[in-house]
Structure 1
């Protein structure tokens, strides 16, 4: 038996399948989801009376009012509102805030940032609807633990076989997209960044990340909430301060940068020149797609965290959920874009993580690589925790508590494998399953939009009884 020949055939088959999956993923995202998600955001913005504008102040007050790095420990009855938001942001703020932003700028030009902002603005209304419906339909499992998420409001929207099928389809897609393949992608980003910055072997990084992740997973919701409430503010502070220093150092370029963003949104060739070949449609496509992929509004992921927040009314968590999208896009993503644009790193020809490293190196020198690596670790590791938790909620729904330990073990193995193997097939499948899980979630949201409006108005804001 020629093992080398078998391996070569497997690699070839994997590459071919990766190409097919990429075509399917690009079709789903570029031709369906960016329109469906934006239209969904506009729909809920109108139906909820521009809730993201009228309730933004309340959301900020609840965020800072509940801010606590050492809050009350989460229990089987749920976690605090701030812990739920921290868990959601842990998942939202990931490698997409660096590499995704870089991709949008290279492929869509500076104008892509405007379309990111617009998509996030409407997405804030969508995530408000997701959060209040997740609160409204949360329940308890056989062990008395509070559980919630899209599967429960999908079943409520369609109380028949169709609803059961949609809920099951959503659960399987999420477990594959986030719990398994998505976390392979995140660990790969961490190992790549540390290998580039410090020369540390990728497998060593993977084993360390997996060991720490396993420790957190085995602690259940109590440990997950305790870690995210600390790591999210820390990573946000480090990245915001580090980015602001670079932007302020290049303050003379700030006015021109904003001119390029707004002009490039509608007339990219006026900014980049005709040779760049970037059109308004491409600026819109890359900006909207990368923005929504980062903040996850409408995708059905973050409602798992918001569902188990201990609040008096669903609306209380809804307004907090909106702030998560604001932080992800209007703060973290925007700072990344401004760093890359004010330093003119976009003109360097670098792409992805290398583009971010080029931008930060312009001021920090060789430490720029280390800074990006550290931030990538925080961003990606926090996403691993958040995505694990979202997958766990769906494992409980499909198989019960008995399957959680097996699920945790598989995720840990995926983290190790993902750190040392950059498989295009895994990346493309993660994108694809991430996309298709949006559809059952949005179908249920629209079907329950009338109830969402009543909850928003306080006409039906009761929470499930213990």
Structure 2
């Protein structure tokens, strides 16, 4: 597993985690923001009129309403990115990462407006009579670049597993195991059956589920978040201040957090922001292409609301919950993930003074790596007797117990260590360190008015959020398969999708996040290229839209 994760990390380092990727993502969005004169601001209020169906016509083609398309797309984005992803961003980049998540969303509102408008404009009717759309159709029908459309469609199929499938069920199974002690295989089995039932019904059944599920789960989650924020109200202003104070300086070390550089916080925030709202990835346009409508720009305006709801509202509230509770900088007892652990040779490292923090931080950043341990680690009754230092989750681990297996008896004997990591993955390391993802958010929710019961809100939230994401992403993969091999191929895709959902329930979390990062990048790049090439088409489409609105609704005040 470690070798596989290392290999995938190398691939990701050249694309999604490369220094140029966030600049490409934000650059295209910023270009359209200026080129189209800030449509995410000018059209924001008008989007609500469209959402209510004010300008709909009886004969509009499509499978879903504007609201159903929005909730389907939101269910595809409101998932682990809002609960686990925000916690991971704060864990890695500190408070400043939240700012860059919000900036990514603000710019992404324009990017999503463009990609949805173009995808809706060039959609087609599939062999089975349903609407089929997405970036692959404007690439084929307008750009005449079928090869690029194929690349995007293949990437969409892969991304449906790397974004919508594997990380979602893994987060669900982890949350239910830690909260209710439900074995991951049981969670995977039950939810796989439910998933199969929903997605077999196609977009109409998916939309009917998501239009009810999304509002309900948002209300439940908000109640949990505000219970923590109001219970720690004295920390709210300092938390907000920390977001901005660390923007242009290295995030200071605090508690178990060893600090983060400006660029690292920027890269993490943009990366997590994209994973959360998927603006520029080209996924949401596939859902919006199913909406009933005769004007593509109208559906593009509805899409403006997505990053605002998903990231600017939900992710910001999650971030303030984490910061105000203070748990992001505290060490907590947890089972160590082997892929997130490193054993250093020697015991001269500490995080209770500045030199020690600097040395550990430079080791984690790769700037000045410390020597790792190789050989046989001596353990007696669960306690390490060799002279080593254990790093886990980017923090100095404490109170470590080595067990024969997860939940097993304390080990006495030798553990083979290669390049700082245990060779036998079945051996469990348990102790205090920083934590991230779902477990971090779960602990934060226990610091509110609900006390220990708060963790149940996170478990229920991650179950609903992540499961709805898996439902929506199955539709994205469905449409990509329809584009590549026709409607007949969809049934085979659904079988593999459900099987992958079950398998990922028991897979390694770190590897799944790495796969997701790669899939996002491979899908995003063709889409960014495509919408940039169609910039003039987009501008003329908007001009024609407002011209038609004036003729059809002369008394309507429009923000053209």
- Contact between 1:135 and 1:307, CA under 8 Å: does it hold in 2? yes
| 3-state SS in 1 of match to 2:22 | helix
* Residue range with higher mean Cα deviation, 252-261 or 174-183: 174-183
Any gaps of 5 or more consecutive residues in structure 2? 55-59, 331-433, 549-560
1:451 corresponds, among 530, 534, 537, to 537
State the match for 2:492 in structure 1: 406
More strand, by proportion: 2
2:266 corresponds, among 260, 284, 288, to 284
By relative contact order (CA 8 Å, sep 6+), the higher-ranking structure is: 1
2:4 corresponds, among 17, 25, 30, to 17
Say whether 1:301 aligns with 2:286.
no
Deviation at 1:429, TM superposition (A): 2.6
Query: What whole-Å deviation, never above 9, does each CA across 1:127-149 have from its counterpart, x for those lacking one?
Result: 00011101110111123221100
Deviation at 1:18, TM superposition (A): 2.3
State the match for 2:525 in structure 1: 439
Say whether 1:353 aligns with 2:353.
no
2:26 corresponds, among 25, 33, 38, to 38
Deviation at 1:316, TM superposition (A): 1.2
Deviation at 1:288, TM superposition (A): 1.1
- Contact between 2:61 and 2:294, CA under 8 Å: does it hold in 1? no
- Contact between 2:134 and 2:282, CA under 8 Å: does it hold in 1? yes
2:16 corresponds, among 29, 44, 48, to 29
* Residue range with higher mean Cα deviation, 414-423 or 186-195: 414-423
State the match for 1:146 in structure 2: 131
State the match for 2:469 in structure 1: 383
Deviation at 1:193, TM superposition (A): 0.7
| 3-state SS in 2 of match to 1:204 | helix
| 3-state SS in 2 of match to 1:298 | coil
Say whether 1:100 aligns with 2:64.
no
Deviation at 1:386, TM superposition (A): 0.9
After the TM superposition, which residues 237-248 of structure 1 pair with which residues of structure 2 at under 5 Å, given as runs? 237-248=219-230
1:130 corresponds, among 96, 111, 115, to 115
2:157 corresponds, among 175, 187, 190, to 175
| 3-state SS in 2 of match to 1:420 | coil
| 3-state SS in 1 of match to 2:20 | helix
2:68 corresponds, among 67, 83, 86, to 83
Any gaps of 5 or more consecutive residues in structure 1? 1-13, 68-74
State the match for 2:356 in structure 1: none
Structure 1 pair 357–461 and aligned structure 2 pair: CA distance change class (3 A): farther
CA distance in 1: counterparts of 2:187 and 2:171, whole angstroms:
11
State the match for 2:507 in structure 1: 421
CA distance in 1: counterparts of 2:304 and 2:13, whole angstroms:
27
State the match for 2:377 in structure 1: none
Matched length:
438
> Cα RMSD over matched residues?
2.2
Deviation at 1:309, TM superposition (A): 0.9
Deviation at 1:422, TM superposition (A): 2.5
Query: What whole-Å deviation, never above 9, does each CA across 1:199-225 have from its counterpart, x for those lacking one?
Result: 112111111111111110111111011
Structure 1 pair 151–309 and aligned structure 2 pair: CA distance change class (3 A): same
Deviation at 1:446, TM superposition (A): 0.4
Deviation at 1:27, TM superposition (A): 3.1
CA distance in 2: counterparts of 1:103 and 1:171, whole angstroms:
29
More helix, by proportion: 1
CA distance in 2: counterparts of 1:171 and 1:336, whole angstroms:
32
- Contact between 1:90 and 1:382, CA under 8 Å: does it hold in 2? yes
Scaled by the length of structure 1, what TM-score is found?
A: 0.89
State the match for 1:393 in structure 2: 479
CA distance in 1: counterparts of 2:533 and 2:268, whole angstroms:
29
Query: What whole-Å deviation, never above 9, does each CA across 1:412-462 have from its counterpart, x for those lacking one?
Result: 111111112336544423321221111111111001011111112226999
- Contact between 1:109 and 1:268, CA under 8 Å: does it hold in 2? no
After the TM superposition, which residues 315-354 of structure 1 pair with which residues of structure 2 at under 5 Å, given as runs? 315-348=297-330, 349-354=434-439
2:208 corresponds, among 220, 226, 239, to 226
CA distance in 2: counterparts of 1:229 and 1:327, whole angstroms:
15
State the match for 1:5 in structure 2: none
CA distance in 1: counterparts of 2:109 and 2:437, whole angstroms:
26
CA distance in 1: counterparts of 2:262 and 2:255, whole angstroms:
13
Structure 1 pair 180–426 and aligned structure 2 pair: CA distance change class (3 A): same
CA distance in 2: counterparts of 1:115 and 1:273, whole angstroms:
23
Deviation at 1:268, TM superposition (A): 3.8
